[in-house]
Amino acid sequence: PFMDWEKANEAQDWTGLTGRIYKGINHLIRARKQTHAFHAQALAFAVWTHNIHVFGLIRESPRGRLLILANFSENVQTVPRYRIHDMKFKGQLHDHLDGQNYDGSSDMALEPYQTLWLESMGKNQ
């Protein structure tokens, strides 16, 4: 099939649906490349978050540990701080998706359908 250049150019218009999807996918790819715990040989295991609406996954490798939390609800959901601590994520947590830092000693509130890729920062790991 021939390349539809008109459709391809829609990806550059970030105000349209195609452009927003393209920009979002590129952001995920960049974040994934910069996150060492996504290495192919990293161990991955699901964890119970004490919230039926929030899926938890830990990726673990010699280069780092990552806690992935994904809210599959249309409502704000919370993962209790004791659960974050039990999974050995302490102190400041850096989210590789939005670049924000979170306090690991507080309950973790996730907006509807929000996903976090959290890594402990500094000596509190």
**pLDDT digits over 23-70, tens only?**
888 877 888 777 777 777 788 999 999 999 999 999 998 888 999 999
In the predicted model, is pLDDT for residue 125 greater than 50?
no
Q: Which helix (H) or strand (E) holds 110?
A: strand 108-110
What residues does CATH 2.60.40.1180 cover in the chain? Answer: 37-124
pLDDT at 1 (0 to 100) = 74
All residues at 6 or more sequence positions from 125 whose CB lies less than 8 Å from its CB, including other chains: 65, 90, 91
**What is the architecture, at CATH level 2, of domain 37-124?**
Sandwich (2.60)
Question: Given pLDDT bands bounded at 50, 70 and 90, which one contains residue 2?
Answer: confident
Query: Residue 10 has which token pair?
Result: 């829609």
CA distance 55 to 93: 18
Angle at 89 between CA 104 and CA 27, to 5 degrees: 80
Question: Given pLDDT bands bounded at 50, 70 and 90, which one contains residue 117?
Answer: very high
Give residue for tokens 């590789």: 96
Across the chain, what does the average pLDDT equal? 88
Tell me the range of 44-48, 100-104, 117-121 where mean pLDDT is highest.
Answer: 44-48
